[in-house]
Chains A and B, each alone.
Chain A
Amino acid sequence: EIVMTQSPATLSVSPGERATLSCRASQSVSSNLAWYQQKPGQAPRLLIYGASTRATGIPARFSGSGSGTEFTLTISSLQSEDFAVYYCQQYNNWSRTFGQGTKLEIK
């Protein structure tokens, strides 16, 4: 089973600033990497798939990069609605795995 490791566990950033979240895979997943946002009491929301393609309706301030084992989600200018928990997920094979999540909180 591929292990996904996200860092940091918690990130404190001020509104308007940039946030950079990392995700590392224990083995190559090519570009088969997605990012999800989850707010309390809500189902996850797909942000990015294919490591760098924004899902429908996702603002351009969200961007993804990376391939193989190292991935990054960048939020260029944080809005109040962006403070949430973010998960990466690999879908390289039928045994898919999520990272443990990064909580993005207001500084």
Chain B
Amino acid sequence: EVQLVESGGGLVQPGRSLRLSCAASGFTFDDYAMHWVRQAPGKGLEWVSGISWNSGSTGYADSVKGRFTISRDNAKNSLYLQMNSLRAEDTALYYCAKGEVSQHWGQGTLVTVSS
């Protein structure tokens, strides 16, 4: 069974940093691209970032470019999102999602940016 479990969310002050993790199991992790998608409270889905199976290609939404960095460790079956210079508008539930088109999603980790 495919499982994606996000962690690392919490309350953080504006301008600070946070690192999210996604632990994957139940599939061959290094066969798949992975993505981060977020959803602000009561709002729609926003794609944040994606990374290819071998980390050779990455992409970012304009809203996070230059502040967020996606990475993965295939030996640990893990995906990461380093979030720097956080803003109030980054407050959201952050999901990790598997594959070019995402049939499998985690349940999300909540990031709240507030003073």
Residues of A within 8 A of B (CB): 1, 34, 36, 38, 43-44, 46, 49-50, 55-56, 85, 87, 89, 91, 93-101
Chain B count of residues within 8 A CB distance of the other chain: 22
Q: Decide: B59 and A96 in contact? CB cutoff 8 A.
A: yes
Contacts A87-B44, A87-B45, A101-B44: A34 and B101 contacting too (C-beta < 8 A)?
yes
**Which partner residue on chain A sits nearest B45 by CB separation?**
A98
CA distance A4 to B86 in the complex (A): 26
Residues of B within 8 A of A (CB): 35, 37, 44-47, 50, 57-62, 95, 100-103, 105-108
Q: Which 5 A-B pairs have the closest CB atoms?
A: A94-B59, A43-B105, A49-B101, A96-B47, A101-B44
CA distance A91 to B99 in the complex (A): 11
**Which partner residue on chain A sits nearest B46 by CB separation?**
A98
A contact patch SS: loop
CA distance A101 to B44 in the complex (A): 6
B contact residues around A34 at 8 Å (CB): 101
CA distance A32 to B61 in the complex (A): 18
Q: Decide: B35 and A98 in contact? CB cutoff 8 A.
A: no
Q: Decide: B59 and A44 in contact? CB cutoff 8 A.
A: no
**Which partner residue on chain B sits nearest A34 by CB separation?**
B101
Q: Nearest-CB distance from A62 to chain B (Å)? A: 14
CA distance A87 to B37 in the complex (A): 13
CA distance A98 to B101 in the complex (A): 12
Q: Decide: B100 and A100 in contact? CB cutoff 8 A.
A: no
Q: Nearest-CB distance from A57 to chain B (Å)? A: 9
CA distance A93 to B54 in the complex (A): 17
